[in-house]
Each structure stands twice: as structure tokens, then as C-alpha cells.
Structure 1
Amino acid sequence: MNITVDKQPNCTATLRVEVPSDAVNSERERILSAYASQAKIQGFRPGKAPRKVIEARYKNSISEELQERLVRKAFDEALQKEALKVLNFGNPADFSENPDGSVSFNSTLTLAPEIELPEYKGVAVKEPSAEISDEDINKNLESLRERFAEYEDIEDRAAENGDLAVLDYSSTLDGQPLEEAVGKSVGYLSSREGFWMKLDEQSFLPGFTAQLVGAKPGDEKEITVTVPEDFPVADLRSKELVFAVTVKELKKAVLPELDDELAAKLTGGKSLEELKSLLTQQMSAEKRRKIDDYKVNQIVEHFNSQVDFELPEALLRQETQSQADSLVQRGAQSGMSEEELAAQQAEIFATAGVQARTNLKTNFILQEIAHKENIIVNDQELVQHLASIATQRKENPKKFIKQLQKEGRIPGIRNSMLIGKAIDFILEHATVEEVSGEPEEIESTES
């Protein structure tokens, strides 16, 4: 075969193939012999039908199989000859049977990026303590008490921090209704009636609730706030918004006693001490998960800052769409309307694009490390993993695995396991520094 590979930007290459007539004829003869030995044609005993009859009867099938075999052999030879890391061979195009009996075709290949790995042993990783303090337990218990709170009207004083205010409000920007000013839906920032808001700095926009302290039911207030620079809607960042607010009601939360009775309600009969023990276990597992995620994020950030390379455009588009779909789904689950999601389409795709690039870069880097360190996921490990998932879902493992094979999801699962192994390898060889604080607090300080 005459094979040429023309590498191009964005991890693509054009494969051009010409198969000499003698090779084409040899392959066609092998296919024809197989058909002749197995074909059942009326009037002839099996294997005794003339070649011309076989060729006429199965002409299209023989041509299709010949093309498939020649393409497959060309791809195999290209891999060996060019030492290519091909992600997708594409669909052969311009398949031609030439007058001299030779065959030619070409195909657009998607290649894995060429990566120069940085040093990946001894990466500096910070690891917060996994200890659960009494303060952590008490905060969680207070949150549980709030779930069973009853709310009483406040009639004898003005609003204080920690109270709940029931508000009607509308907003303007430069004297115009907010949605008119920005030309699109802005969701809850526009207006609400009967909106419950806790008076603390974690509620709504920074500085909003502080201006409600001292208000009483029936008061009307004009509240001016500046939108934070990291606000999800880019058009509103650093803008000064004016809210016309009516305080309809003030309420305070009356929390139940923290005792065995409350614990029994929460757990179905357990005591307060048993509830504390259960919370400690749950919080320990959750904190361990957060710490593991934090360590992985450090690995991802390290490699993405150390090395850069081209990515396959097709994969980048696919991953960007996948990330955008996930963002839209999370937005819908959090209560955002279709109009609000549509208004943020540009921001969603911008965020999705950044995350997609990070995901693909990390994936390729970790695959390369796995290859260099001879890290693999063997069939036994894969089957055990899939069987475990099936058991958790209370499904028959064989049927579950067969369905995954049918859907073509097995390679992706194997790759995810490989990436996990590569991360474990890097963490095993990392330089770990124990630090204080919660993972999210450390990330916030560092960013």
C-alpha cells in the first residue's frame, strides 16, 4: 500500500491511501473463495457453484466487504508506519476503483495531541485535616433545628440581623426597570412579591439586608446596591441597582429544644447522643470527599498551568456542549426559568468552553502519564467495577454490562477508571503539606 499522512492543525491529519491492483485482486479472491465455499445456490451443491455465478449473486456484498478490509488494513498499516495516536479514523471518502485495478481513498483522522509532560512526581499538594470538631457538630445540629423552626410575627420592635422579612420589591438601573435596561430577563433581581429573606450578608446581594435593619412592617425603603464583579450575569457586574422595597411582615424563627425528642423526629427513634454519632460519621465521610476533591483540583490546576497543547476541535465542541447541557440542567434544578437560562446562554457557553478545555487537557495529560507508567485497567478490574455498580443499582450484572456494551459506553468507563488510577499514582508520589481550614476556605483565599 502507498500511504501518506499529512498532519494539520487542531490534531487532525489527512490519510491518503492507494492500494496496488495485485493487493486488491488478492483480497477480492480471498473474499470470493469464502463466499464460494459457503454459498447455497439453488441447482448447485454447496461449494460447487461457478465463480461467475457467485460474483453475480453477491456482487454488492463482496464489494462492501472488500472496501471494509482494504480500509481496515490501511488504518492498521498507517498506525504502524507513522506511529500515530489516532482517536478517530473518520469515514473514508473518495473511494475509487481506478482503471488499472488499484483502489484509492482518503480519510480525515482525529489525532491525540502531542504532549511534553512536565515533572509529575513530587507535585506539591495541600491537605486539610479531616477531623470533625465539636463546633462542626454543633453547627450541623443548629441547621437541623432550623428545619423544624416555627415562625412568629414580630410586632414590638424593628428588624434586626437574623430576622426574616417578607418583602415586595422591584428594581431599576439608571432609572429604567431593570429588564428594560439590560434587554433580557434577570430573574429574581427584577421583582418579587411576598419574598422571604433572612437578614444576613449571605442573603441576596451584598449590602442589601444591612439596609433593612431597623425597618418595620409597612415601611417603604429605597435600597441601593452595587452588583459584585463575579455575578453570573456579566451585563450586571459592577452596576448600581436601586430597589423599591416594601416591608410587609417581620418574623423570627423559634427553634425547638435540642433534645432526645427532636433527635427521635430526625432519625426515627434514636437518642441525641446517637444522632451526634451518626452526624459525625456522615460529616467525616463528606469532609473526606471534599478533601479528596480539593487534592484532585490541585493536580488539575498544576498540570493545566504547566503545559499547553492543541486539542481536537471535534472533541472540544462535543465536551463544550456536554458541559453546557449540565449547567443548564443544574440551573433548571435550582429553580431558574427557561427565560432566565436563555438570557444567560452566552455566559453558560463561555463557562462551558473553559471547563471543557480544562477537562480535555487534564484527560490527555493523565492518559499520557498512565501510558508512561504502564498503568492499565485490565478486564477483571473493569468487570468487577461494573458488577459493583450493577449491585448498587440492584440490577443483574450480566444484563447491565451487556446493555453498556450495546450503548458503546464501556471504553469511556474504562478510561475514567484509568484516569482515576493515574490521579492515585500522582497523589501517591506527591509532596503533601498538611494545612488548617476547610477546602473551600483555602480555595477562596488562594483565588
Structure 2
Amino acid sequence: MSNYKLGLDYAKQQDTLDELSGYRQQFHIPKDNKGNEVIYMTGNSLGLQPKITKNYINQELEDWANLGVEGHTEGKNPWLHYHEFLTETMANIVGAKPLEVVVMNSLTANLHFMMVSFYKPTSKRYKILIEADAFPSDKYAVESQLRHHGYDDKDGLILWKAREGEELANYDDLETILKQHGDEIAMVMIGGVNYYTGQFFDLKRIAALAHHHGCVVGFDCAHGAGNVQLNLHDSGADFAVWCSYKYLNSGPGSLSGAFVHERHANNKDLNRFTGWWSHNKKTRFRMRDDFDQLPGAEGWQLSNPPILSMAAIRASLDVFKTAGFEKLCKKSEHLTGYFEFLLNELNNSDIKIITPSNPKERGCQLSIQVKNADKALHDKLTDAGIITDWREPDVIRCAPVPLYNSYMDVYGFVERLKTILN
């Protein structure tokens, strides 16, 4: 436990000592109607825009204007191989080998593409296990896969539920489910960081347990990528997907990432949907050749990449690269710890943090449950210049992001919350 202190001077001192504090200046911080910067705590929903993003996109617009189709090969950043500019930094952020990572499509589309390959139901083993409070799109996606394969989506779905009166999922319960139903479960698909509670699951433990029972394992890391050390390769997961518009700051609705473990890299027998961008790069433009599968995660691509969206991702990844992801994670742990400390020091019995208190079991998000509250509390916070995320029935999700949030942001948030609650 760090020796956090109360008071404005401590927050100012921590910002002065923070070697990453300058990165805040590299982002556009929204302002209220009086022209004051808001306290932006929703990087877990939509990350802020790096100031260099406009330049990165404009470069591609200029090449399009000046070169037309020749931009694919003659542009400053040739479009033909543009997705490759993202691979190494993205792989580093999610803890994977470059062979295992590709940026393509949108999040739930990638989840479906992965399930096409890895969900292989049989008459005996066809069920899918997810956490009970998974993000809705994950639940909808796996239910639709069950229906697509001719199974009942209620009978085929097994939910890993938190215990009565608790918010966090318990690993003993997961072990019990797999002991009882493991031979019926074809796939375990868990959100790497739960969107609601902020609980960061032990991916390696889950993957090992599921594999022991013969299940395929995938993770939706939408709330993990750019937030925590996922170590996807070492986790042993078969696949993972994530979006890039939350902690990875690539803009609303931007592209998704996909991970396929290297043990599957050269398995051409895996069922999959294909398109010409998963075909051998050397012969792709011969057009009439039979399909020749690319190895690794690139072999799941379908179409040529949307360059303008990729340019925005590249801008953000370049900020991550210069800041250093390990440094960001270290700051995140301290900044969120400070946030937790200040909330606990309020000594308000109406407030409960439902996110794990162990820093290794969470990222930067804290989910604050407020007794007898409704969305009016969220509206009051907004009026006070604080942008947070409200989740029914009574939870405020707050994420002090290490790239652009400061200790003063955290201090200001708690002071304003205290005033509103009083």
C-alpha cells in the first residue's frame, strides 16, 4: 500500500513528480460551456483524441488527393501494407507475438469470426460458458452462435455467476462448473476485464482450467487492451478480441484487434471465413490462383483495411510507444490506488467500491456503487464538470486513465462527489 495523503498539496506534488504528466498535453481535453476543462473519467467507454490524430489522417487524405490509387504503393505510408504498421506496438500492448495479432473489422464481428473457427460443437459437447454479467454484445453473439448451429440458446449457455450478495466472480465456482459440465462445454468465452465491476480475470488460470477439461478458450479484452498487462501469449488462450476506441484512443467505432495463439498459426484445417486479404501476399494480385492461406492472425483477414480508421489507431499507438506501456501500467496502479484511498477516506457508508481492491485484479477503472442513488447523481456530476459512465441500477464507472488523467483530476472528482453527496 502506498503512503497516500489527503489534501490538495499532495495531488499537486504527485503531478509534479509524475514523469508521464506531459502526455496529458498531447490530448484534446473536452471543456464545459464555461470553457473549463472537464474531469474526464470515461476512457473505459471512449478514449480522448490524441492531438496528432488529425495529422495522421490528413496525411492519408493528402495522399489520396494527390496520388489516387497509387497511394496503395507510392504513398508516404503505403496503404497496401498499412495494417502492418500497427502490429508490433499492438502486440506489445496485449502481450503477444506479432504473428499472433492483427487489426481488422469491428469487435463483435471479430468475435464471430473467431467463433466460426474455434467453436466446434458436437452432439455431446456444444455448450458455451460465459460470465453471467458479460457485456451484452458478448452474450448476444454467443447465443446467436448456438442458434446458428441448431442449439437452444438457453440450454446451451452456462453462466459463471457471482455468489449471492457478491459482485465478483469466484474461481472456485468456475472450477465446480467445469468439473460438473466440462464434458458438455465446447468453449469458454470470458471478458478479460468485466465491464461492470472492473474485475481483471486471471486469464492464464482460466485458460489452463478450461483446456484441462477439453474446452476451447477465448477472451473479449475490450476493457483490458491498453489498460492492463494481458499477456495473451503466455495466457495460452486460443483466441482473443478487443476494440481500440476505449483505452486505445482510436475514435468512435474504430477497428478491433484479434489474437490467435501461434500454435494455430499454420493450421489450415481450421474452419474459417476467408477473403482475399487472408491470401498469400506475394500472389494476392494474380487474382485467379486458388486460395493460399496466410499464416498467423493475418490469415483471418477478409478485406483490404480502412486506412483512415487505421491512421487514427496508428497515431494513438505511437503515443503508447513513446510513453511505454509498462510505465503507464505502473502509473495506473498508483493513480487508481490514490483514487480508492480518497473514496475510502470519505467514510461514507452509502459508497461501496465493487471493483477488487487488489491492484493485480483490476485496471484503472473503479466501479462505485452508491446506495439509494439513481441517474440523477450522474446528472449532478455532469453538471459539476465530471464526465463518468452510469450503469443501472446504482453504479458509476470511473476510469482515471494514466495517459491523460492527473492526480488533480482524481482529487477534484472526489471533492465534487463529496459536495454532491452532502
TM-score (norm 2): 0.21
**Bigger relative CO (Cα 8 Å, ≥ 6 apart):** 2
More helix by share: 1
Higher gyration radius (CA): 1
